[in-house]
């Protein structure tokens, strides 16, 4: 048996996705290795979310192949497809919590549908998952409309992790959070990734997240992956868009702070 | 699922296993039982194996809970996790449950052979504090009183918010009369088109049918007494005084009141109303006043149109079913009704429009973040405004009777 690291958790080859005549992803190829956190960057409207939604099957592709956890989802029946879907979790940008269910019920929803657990275990595991993302029992019975932005993301993460998936897709996990919450959320993702042995595919704009959390970073421009590697490779890239992104004004502020703090 | 519990008398070994029945196929199921128990001299040796993961959590829980008696009898417990191939939060939680039951008695449990990569998970799960489900049931009598008290206070608050909305509308109207330029004429006309003009076809159809039905019923029953011609009196008075305005108001409450609530509610949800407020605009003046003014103009017009359609329907039925020629119907109608009847119906219309509009606005602004609350508030809006329309009608009936109209 090959070591787990060698089998890509997500393998995208030659992917073409477009709407009408407008091509968003143009022969894109990408591998997400097992057990890594891959950060995916790109300008607004460059197709990051389109790629994520295509991988998880929410958007149709025009050409190319996608295999997730060793399964090509195009050539399998519904049962196999659902079995793979149970092994991944998705955190949507706005959380996408079910507004008619409480926080706890949101987390329990995938368990209730997929596993035949006793009421006691269902409650205990649900609360344990909420505790793992840093929420107390007092928050468990709140409705999504009563949760703050950061709490919504935490509940959504707990729901994405409900079935102990191997692979997690995060769509801009720290957007809309204040720097402290965003930092805590980064920490949380890192910790959970280590303890649960997750593979994480993360679309993000947050340079700080990319620096502190991600093992590798992939950059998307003109419908292709223009660079992939660790953060230092990103910083030394000569591509003009990459330079603008990683060495723009906002990046400089970060860099300056880092140097003054001696990091 | 069938449980196999076999005891070997010589070694005292109890093997616990459940037949394969999880949702994953047989080939994925562990060959060894998830948990097997060996008992020797009061020492309990538990050997875990296979996949301690979510798909097997239900079976595992049964196994773990069934060990309670064995655990209680044992002096010492050791768990060997060597055989565990897969392990996740579910497994960690059940392991915690197993150890907690034992540790509560102040004794230690040895866990051995668990792969290092799962230690973090065990720690994480052990940190999670989960209280047992609070199962506090209050007495039903107290619950009943509590519910009654709550609904009474809600009714009280509803009345206050209703009056406050009428007050805010009056203020907005006052401001608009002082500075007529600030009045949103375009918006009013737009809403007039939606709640008035676009409602005409359905109002015509429904009132026409109702008028016809009243006439048919009249002829069917009055004929027994030879009182055919009084059908015209009944149709005329009933339609002009009551049915015309009531049917139209109920239709408008269901058609326009609900859409007002849904519009304002979704604006509230998306913080558009807060945005307006921060820009220094009064949402009542900008959003609510034009809508309610449109409703107050539209409802009397629709009532007039609807009453005419109902009379026409009545006349048509009188002709085709009752054999009364249109000339006689019209002549009889002239004798039976006066302008008073017409006025009684029409005077009620703007007040009903105000009630529908205010209820719709109040309920719309009550919407909170969730989609469920939008639906609930829209339903409440329609139910309440129809109720208020009927109540108003009753009050007007008393009023007109006492002033002799």
CATH number at residue A255: 3.40.50.300
Q: Which residues of chain A are within 8 Å of residue B24 when distances are taken between CB atoms?
A: 83
3-state SS track over chain B: CCEEEEEECCCCEEEEEECCCCCCCCCCCCCCCCEEEEEECCEEEEEEEEEECHHHHHHHHHHHHHCHHHHHHCCEEEEEEEEEEEECHHHHHHHHHHHHHHHCCCCCEEEECCCHHHHHHHHHHHHCCCCCCCCCCCCHHHHHHHHHHHHHHHHHHHHHHHHHHHHHHHHHHHHHHHCHHHCCHHHHHHHHHHHCHHHHHHHHHHHHHHHHHHHHHHHHHHHHHCCCCHHHHHHHHHHHHHHHHHHHHHHHHHHHHHHHHHHHHHHHHCCHHHHHHHCCCCHHHHHHHHHHHHHHHHHHHHHHHHHHHHHHHHHHHHHHCCCCCHHHHHHHHHHHCCHHHHHHHHHHHHHHHHHHHHHHHHHHHCCCCCHHHHHHHHHHHHHHHHHHHHHHHHHHHHHHHHCCC
Torsion angle, CA of B367/B372/B376/B382, rounded to 10 degrees? 90
Interface test with A, best of B59, B90, B94 (most A CBs within 10 A): B90
Domain that holds residue A218: 4-87+165-260
Q: Does residue A101 form part of some domain?
A: no
Pairwise CB contact (< 8 Å): A196 & B369: no
Residue percentage of chain A with pLDDT more than 90: 0
Highest-pLDDT range among A73-77, A192-196, B8-12, B186-190: B186-190
Indicate whether A247 pLDDT > 70: yes
Torsion angle, CA of B118/B123/B128/B132, rounded to 10 degrees? 80
Q: Whose CA is closest to B346, among B308, B387, B382, B401?
A: B308
Which pTM was predicted? 0.64
User: Mind listing the pLDDT tens digit for each residue in B134-171?
Assistant: 555 557 888 899 999 999 999 999 999 999 999 999 99
- Option in A128, A144, A194 nearest B93 (CB): A128
Distance (Å, whole) CA A87 – CA A85 = 5
User: Mind listing the pLDDT tens digit for each residue in A57-113?
Assistant: 888 888 888 888 878 877 888 888 888 888 888 888 887 888 778 888 888 888 887
Tell me the shortest Cα–Cα distance from B254 to chain A, in angstroms. 24
User: Mind listing the pLDDT tens digit for each residue in B43-77?
Assistant: 777 788 778 888 888 888 888 788 777 777 777 77
pLDDT: which is higher, B281 or B5: B281
Q: Which residues of chain A are within 8 Å of residue B23 when distances are taken between CB atoms?
A: 114
Domains of chain B and any CATH numbers: 3-127 (3.30.750.24), 148-402 (no CATH)
Q: Please state which of the ranges A143-147, A216-220, A259-263 shows the lowest mean pLDDT.
A: A259-263
Whether residue A96 lies within 8 A of chain B, CB to CB, comes out as no
According to the model, what pLDDT value does residue B211 have? 95
Whether residue B124 lies within 8 A of chain A, CB to CB, comes out as yes
Tell me the shortest Cα–Cα distance from B125 to chain A, in angstroms. 7
Q: What is the mean pLDDT of chain B?
A: 84
Number of domains in chain A: 1
**Which H or E element spans position A255?**
helix A249-260
B4 — pLDDT class (breaks 50, 70, 90): very low
Interface test with B, best of A125, A141, A163 (most B CBs within 10 A): A125
Q: Does residue A151 form part of some domain?
A: no
Residue pairs spanning A and B at CB distance below 8 A? 81
Q: Does residue A67 form part of some domain?
A: yes
Q: Which residues of chain B are within 8 Å of residue A195 when distances are taken between CB atoms?
A: 120-121, 123-124
Locate B335 and state its tokens: 């004798």
Whether residue B403 lies within 8 A of chain A, CB to CB, comes out as no
CB A114 within 8 A of CB A79: no
């Amino acid at each position: 048996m090959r070591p787990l690291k060698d089998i890509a958790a997500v393998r995208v080859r030659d992917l073409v996705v477009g709407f009408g005549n407008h091509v968003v992803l143009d022969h894109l190829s990408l591998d997400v290795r097992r057990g890594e956190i891959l950060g995916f960057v790109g300008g607004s409207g460059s197709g990051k979310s389109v790629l994520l939604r295509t991988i998880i099957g929410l958007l149709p592709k025009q050409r190319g192949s996608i295999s997730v956890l060793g399964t090509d989802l195009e050539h399998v029946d519904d049962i196999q497809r659902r079995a793979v879907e149970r092994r991944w979790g998705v955190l949507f940008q706005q959380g996408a919590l079910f507004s008619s269910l409480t926080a706890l019920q949101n987390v329990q929803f995938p368990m209730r549908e997929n596993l035949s657990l006793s009421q006691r275990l269902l409650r205990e595991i649900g609360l344990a998952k909420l505790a793992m993302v840093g929420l107390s029992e007092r928050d468990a019975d709140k409705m999504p409309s009563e949760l703050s932005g950061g709490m919504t993301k935490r509940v959504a993460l707990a729901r994405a992790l409900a079935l102990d998936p191997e692979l997690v897709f995060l769509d801009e996990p720290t957007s809309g959070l204040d720097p402290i919450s965003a930092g805590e959320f980064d920490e949380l993702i890192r910790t959970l990734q280590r303890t649960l042995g997750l593979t994480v595919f993360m679309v993000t704009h947050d340079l700080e997240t990319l620096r502190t959390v991600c093992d590798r970073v992939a950059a998307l421009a003109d419908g292709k992956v223009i660079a992939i590697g660790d953060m230092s490779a990103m910083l030394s890239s000569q591509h003009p868009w990459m330079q603008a992104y990683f060495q723009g004004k906002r990046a400089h502020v970060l860099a300056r702070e880092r140097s003054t703090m001696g990091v | 699922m069938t449980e196999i519990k076999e005891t070997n008398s010589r070694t005292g070994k109890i093997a616990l296993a459940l037949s394969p029945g999880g949702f994953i196929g047989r080939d994925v199921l562990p060959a060894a039982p998830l948990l097997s128990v060996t008992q020797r001299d009061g020492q309990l040796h538990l050997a875990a194996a296979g996949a301690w993961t979510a798909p097997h959590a239900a079976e595992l829980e049964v196994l773990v809970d069934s060990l309670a008696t064995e655990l209680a009898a044992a002096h010492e417990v050791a768990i060997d996790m060597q055989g565990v191939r897969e392990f996740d939060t579910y497994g960690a939680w059940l392991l915690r449950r197993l150890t907690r039951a034992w540790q509560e008695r102040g004794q230690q449990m040895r866990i051995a052979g668990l792969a290092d990569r799962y230690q973090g998970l065990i720690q994480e799960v052990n940190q999670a504090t989960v209280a047992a489900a609070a199962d506090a049931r209050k007495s039903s009598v107290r619950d009943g009183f509590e519910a009654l008290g709550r609904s009474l206070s809600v009714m009280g608050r509803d009345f206050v918010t209703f009056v406050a909305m009428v007050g805010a509308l009056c203020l907005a109207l006052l401001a608009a009369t002082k500075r007529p330029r600030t009045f949103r004429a375009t918006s009013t006309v737009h809403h007039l088109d939606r709640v008035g003009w676009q409602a005409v076809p359905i109002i015509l159809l429904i009132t026409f049918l109702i008028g016809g039905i009243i006439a048919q019923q009249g002829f069917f029953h009055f004929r027994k007494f030879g009182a055919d011609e009084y059908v015209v009196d009944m149709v005329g008075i009933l339609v002009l005084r009551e049915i015309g305005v009531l049917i139209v108001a109920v239709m408008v409450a269901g058609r326009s009141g609900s859409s007002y609530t849904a519009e304002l509610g979704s604006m509230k949800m998306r913080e558009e109303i807060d945005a307006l407020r921060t820009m220094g605009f009064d949402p009542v003046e900008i959003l609510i006043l034009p809508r309610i003014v449109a409703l107050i103009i539209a409802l009397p017009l629709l009532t007039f149109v609807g009453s005419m359609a109902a009379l026409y329907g009545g006349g048509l039925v009188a002709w085709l079913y009752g054999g009364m020629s249109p000339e006689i119907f019209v002549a009889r109608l002239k004798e039976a009704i006066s302008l008073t009847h017409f006025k009684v119906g029409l005077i009620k219309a703007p007040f009903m429009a105000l009630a529908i509009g205010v209820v719709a606005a109040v309920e719309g602004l009550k919407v909170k973040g969730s989609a469920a609350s939008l639906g609930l508030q829209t339903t409440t809006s329609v139910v309440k405004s129809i109720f208020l329309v009927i109540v108003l009608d009753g009050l007007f009936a008393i009023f007109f009777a006492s002033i002799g109209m």
